[in-house]
Amino acid sequence: MSSESPTPTYLLANGEWKPEGSPLLPVDDRAVSVGAGLFETLAAYRGKPFAFDRHMARLEAGLSALGIPLRIPDEWGTALPELLKRNQLLEAEQARLRITVTAGTPETGPRWFIEASEAPTHPVPARLITGPFVRNERSLLAGYKTINYGDNEIAMRLAHEAGATEALFGNTRDQICEGTWSNIFISCGGKWLTPPLSSGCLPGVTRSIVLQLAEEEGQAIEETDLPLSSIPAIEAAFLTSSIREIQPVESIDAHTLLSPENPQLAAWQRAFRDYVNS
């Protein structure tokens, strides 16, 4: 048996390198007391953070909405590869980076920390369920990636208990909105569609890239309201998120999709992979 201690993993907290498990937040931080905080999850491919500027633009919008007075530190851009290196993830095909910002206290101001880990896997294809839970598209937090994920956690647990891999939220108008950790695209009547941001869905970074790639290829995806009652007519669908990338959907509730391996879906998967590699 080796007498060497296991290599510790590290995170970057307020500009300081700390071993994982180090205390980070006092009990009076407003992230603890009222849930005032935001986060971004990025993919990194062989040591290179992906779509960093897009994630920072979304984070800045959230900081402004929540009134958290943090200017994104310049060091983040160079610190992320170093964090991957310290956690022995520099050569990983895909790794996960998470940036969390808290409101802190009036005395301390905002706090932030960044973690690196192996990327979680997602079963392919995905199986979705709907339920009595809704996304409030009129919420003051709608469209921002806050740390208030209680609804998502419960919905995901219900999905797993039902043998599904993801839960699909409708909104208060009984329209398709988003998954707990994903955006959704559907094919219906030969057209590809996705809920608009007015549905209350998160402005996903991968979502925006897919819309861009589709437009560049002359296969524009329409952003339109999609009633939950249209689910039985869905022919194909896929989910998007930073880590899952483009994930085909096999079924929604009892509805098995007619063509889960849609040719256009496969083409966008290839286009996205080319975009990543470029």
pLDDT per residue over 139-168, tens digit each? 999 999 999 999 999 999 999 999 999 999
What average pLDDT score do residues 235-246 get? 96
pLDDT value at residue 124: 87
Q: Which CATH number fits domain 126-277: 3.40.50.720, 3.20.10.10, 3.30.43.10, 3.30.70.920?
A: 3.20.10.10
pLDDT value at residue 140: 96
What average pLDDT score do residues 168-178 get? 98
The residues near 4 (Cβ < 8 Å, ≥ 6 apart) are: none
| Residue 41 main-chain phi, psi, to 5 deg | -110, 120
Q: Sorting pLDDT into bands at 50, 70 and 90, what band is 262?
A: confident
pLDDT value at residue 259: 63
CATH 3.30.470.10 corresponds to the domain 10-118: yes
- HSE, CB side, 13 Å, CA atoms: give it for residue 42: 29
Q: Sorting pLDDT into bands at 50, 70 and 90, what band is 6?
A: low
Q: How far apart are CA 152 and CA 9, in angstroms?
A: 28
Residue 60, classified by CB atoms within 10 Å of its CB into exposed (0-12), middle (13-18) or buried (19+), is middle
Residue 261 in this model has a pLDDT that exceeds 90: no
pLDDT value at residue 4: 46
Give the residue extent of every domain in the chain: 10-118, 126-277
pLDDT value at residue 2: 36
